[in-house]
Amino acid sequence: MKTLQFREAIQEAMSEEMRRDESIYLMGEEVAEYNGAYKASKGMLDEFGPKRVIDTPISEMGFSGIGVGSAMNGNRPIIEFMTFNFSLVAIDQIINNAAKMRQMSGGQFNIPIVFRGPTASAGQLAATHSQAFESWYANCPGLKVVVPSNPADAKGLLKSSIRDNDPVIFMESEQMYGDKAEVPEGEYLIPLGVADIKRKGKDVTIVSFGKIIKEAYKAADKLAEEGIECEIIDLRTVRPLDYEAVFESVKKTNRLVILEEAWPFGNVATEITYQVQNKIFDYLDAPIVKINTADTPAPFSPNLLEEWLPNSEDVIKAVKKVMYK
C-alpha cells in the first residue's frame, strides 16, 4: 500500500488509463497549463501533450458536446467540470445526447465518456456553487453515477468508469482533494454498482456516500462509547445502486438511517427508503430516517451553513430515534 491524496489518486487513475489506451483524453477548463483547478491533472500535459490534455474556454456546453461527438467516433473522453454546478450549462449534452444516443441509434453508438468534477458544498461558496446533483443525474436512464468517498475507492472506480462503454458521471469534492489514505500498489479496478461495508455493526445500518459519510464515521465512534454498534455502508455508486447490500444489512440490524448531502425532496435516500419498505418491510423494527440538508438554497453565512448541512449530531439523534432511545 502507498499513501496518496485524493487528487493524486484521480491523477494516477487518468494517467494509467491514458498510457494503456491512446483513445482516452482529458478536456476541460484549466486541466492542462494550470495542472487542473484542484491539481488533479498535475504533470499530465507534460506527459501526454496538448492533443490529449486540452484546455478549453469557459464553454461547458461546447466542450461537453465535442466530447460526446468524439465518443461516437471511437474516442474515450474524460470531461472535467470545475464544479458540477457548471454542468447545468452542459446538461442538454449530458441528458439528451450522452445518455440517450445508444438507444436512439439502435445500439450503433456507444458513448464511453466520463464527466467528472466536484459536487455538493465546499465551504462558503453560496447557493449557486454548493449544489449536489447526484440524484438529478441518477434519475436519468443511460447514465451511471459514481460518488467515491476516499482515495482508494476513487482510483479504482475512476479506472472502471473510464473503461465503461456507457456515460459515467463521476462526482468528487473540493473538500476531499487533500484527503490522504492508503491506496493499493499496482493495477486494480473496483466494479461500478457495488457498495462497500466500511464498518460492521449489529444495531443499526447507516447508508451514505461521498464526503458526508465522514459524519457517519464520527457518529459511529461516539455511539460505540454508549454500546451502540453501527454498520456503515458506502454506496460508492448511486446508479446502479447496490440494493442487495442495503437489504442484507437491514435484515441483520432491522433499522436504517440514510445520510445524504442533498435537498430532502426526491433524492437518493428517498429511493432507498421506498425500495427497503417495498422489498423487506417485515424486517424493519422502526421507521426509516433519512438525513438531508435544509430545504433551501445553501446559505453563504458560516453560521447558517453549519445549520444547513447534516452533521454527526444529526446522525446520532437519528440512530437513537430508530432505536427508541
For 246-301, the pLDDT digits (tens) are 999 999 999 999 999 999 999 999 999 999 999 999 999 999 999 999 999 999 99
pLDDT for 303 equals 97
Average pLDDT over residues 4-20: 98
* Arithmetic mean of pLDDT, 204-223: 98
CB 174 within 8 A of CB 5: no
Q: Which residue has cell 499530465?
A: 44
Instruction: Say what the pLDDT of residue 181 is.
Output: 98
For the stretch 35-45, what's the b/e string if a residue is b when 16 or more beta carbons lie within 10 angstroms of its beta carbon? bbbbbbbbebb
Cα 190 to chain center, whole Å?
14
Catalytic residue among 8, 12, 29, 60: 60
Catalytic residue at 229? no
- Express the helix, strand and coil content of the chain in percent, nearest 5 each: 40, 20, 40
Question: Is the separation of the CB atoms in 208 and 232 below 8 Å?
Answer: yes
pLDDT score for 81: 98
Say whether 129 is catalytic.
yes
Which grid coordinates are listed for 136? 438529478
Are the CB atoms for 77 and 120 separated by under 8 Å? no
Tell me the C-alpha distance between 208 and 227, whole Å. Answer: 22
Q: What confidence category does residue 113 fall into, taking pLDDT thresholds of 50, 70 and 90?
A: very high
pTM of model > 0.85: yes
What single-letter amino acid sits at 197?
A: I
Given the residues 80, 129, 260, 261, the one annotated as active site: 129
The 3-class SS string of 236-305 reads: CEEECECHHHHHHHHHHHCCEEEECCCCCCCCHHHHHHHHHHHHHHHHCCCCCEEECCCCCCCCCCHHHH
- The separation between CA 117 and the C-alpha centre of its own chain, rounded to angstroms, equals 9
- Residue 41: pLDDT band (50, 70, 90) is very high
Which residue in this structure is represented by grid cell 445520510? 259
What average pLDDT does the structure give for the chain? 98
Write the pLDDT tens digit of every residue in 56-101: 999 999 999 999 999 999 999 999 999 999 999 999 999 999 999 9
DSSP secondary-structure letter at 142?
Answer: T
Q: Cell for 217? A: 464515521
DSSP, collapsed to helix, strand or coil, labels residue 76 as: strand
Confidence band (pLDDT; 50, 70, 90) for 307?
very high
**What is the pLDDT, as a whole number, of residue 232?**
98
Q: Look at the chain and count its residues.
A: 325
Nearest to 82 by CA among 131, 31, 18: 31
Query: Are 276 and 247 spatial neighbours (Cβ–Cβ below 8 Å)?
Result: yes
Q: CA dist 176 to 7, 279, 282, Å?
A: 8, 34, 38
Instruction: Give the Cα-Cα-Cα angle 63, 80, 70 (nearest 5 degrees).
Output: 45
